[in-house]
Structure 1
Amino acid sequence: MTKAVGEFYLAEDDEVAVKVGPGKRHEFPAVPCDGIYPDDAALRWQVLLTGSSGEDSVATGRLRDVVPMANDGFTVFAVPDELRTALAVAGGERLRTTAVAWAETCYPDYEISPDAAVGLLERLAALAARGVEHELSLYCWYFAP
């Protein structure tokens, strides 16, 4: 079975954000997220970092699609600003706790070790902080064949 490939990246807006995808070169600051389903992961991270519940994207299990997934398995979604900010301000221990909890709950769907999960969230937090600083939105594209 082929694993998903993708990346989280910063862009000015939706119009700019749609210019990415598999095999497309770009200059956006980015963090690869191969081997996971980042839409599911983002929803779980938001719960773990913010405790969100109720009538929001976590409760409904939906993120805002910029390019809705079609039969080709490609999608682009916008990361909620609440999650971008939570990632940007989360400290080292908070990120570590979140990453380990996520890695433990997502196995066997993803074969990601707690250490690899921590590394991913640390890189993503740095990217999110850059987005907050420069007023850029956080997006993710992925391809799941």
Structure 2
Amino acid sequence: MVRVGEFFLAGDDESARRVGPRHSHDFPAVPCDGIYPDDAVLAWGAQLTSAESALRDVVPMANDGFAVFALPEPVCAALAAAGRDRLRSTALAWAEAAFEPGDEISLDDAVNLLERVSALAGRRVEKHLNLYCWYFAP
């Protein structure tokens, strides 16, 4: 199954709704192809906050396989505050637990993605933006 998507910063839900696989934008973004980012964010949140956080749908997934969601504030705050070691251990736990054969992500790729999303989460406060993710999983 092809999965493409990206984490991105936007000012509001209306702006976030206009982002997608065929829509260019100039928002700060980090690609997240090859994963299910909704599952990833829930796993990261559980690891980083020791609590469950619900994603907020901005564009609920329909039959076309496209969705946009906002990351929960506690997860954003934890991502922004986490140091390299904490991100690495979170990435390791996620990479080991979340993937089935054929859907693996390397530890290096998992760490790289988590570090880049963490940087976005840190920038959201200074820029007064929100952290979102769109993905397409037909």
Give, in whole Å, the separation in 2 of the partners of 1:5 and 1:87.
22
Distance 1:132 1:95 in 2: 19
What are the equivalent positions in structure 2 for 1:81-120 lying under 5 Å apart? 81-108=73-100, 110-120=103-113
Between the aligned residues of both structures, percent identity stands at 64
How far apart are the structure 2 equivalents of 1:80 and 1:68?
Answer: 16
Structure 1 letter corresponding to 2:91 = A
Query: What amino acid does structure 2 have at the position aligned with 1:7?
Result: E
TM-score norm. by structure 2 comes to: 0.95
| Residue aligning to 1:60 | none
Unaligned runs of 5+ in 1: 58-62
Query: Whole-Å Cα distance in 2 between the matches of residues 136 and 50 of structure 1?
Result: 21
1:3–1:36 Cα contact (<8 Å) kept? no
1:135 is displaced (CA, Å) by 1.9
Count of aligned residue pairs for this structure pair: 137
Look up the equivalent residue of 2:16 and give its one-letter code: A
1:6 corresponds in structure 2 to: 5
1:103 deviation in Å? 0.2
User: How far apart, CA to CA, are the structure 2 residues paired with 1:95 and 1:85?
Assistant: 13
Moved over 4 A (4+): none
CA RMSD of aligned residues (A): 1.1
Provide structure 2 residue ranges, at least 5 long, that are not aligned to the other structure. Answer: none
Q: Please, which of 127, 130, 135 is the counterpart of residue 128 of structure 2? A: 135
Which residue matches 2:20? Answer: 21
Match for 1:76: what amino acid?
A: V
CA–CA separation in structure 1 for the residues paired with 2:77 and 2:129: 11
Q: CA deviation at 1:4?
A: 0.7
What are the Cα deviations for residues 13-55 of structure 1, in whole angstroms up to 9, with x where unaligned? Answer: 10111110012110000000000000011011000000014xx
Shift of 1:107: 2.2
Q: If the length of structure 1 is used for normalisation, what is the TM-score?
A: 0.91
Aligned residue for 2:47? 48
CA distance in 1, matches of 2:99, 2:5: 19
SS in 2 for 1:6: strand
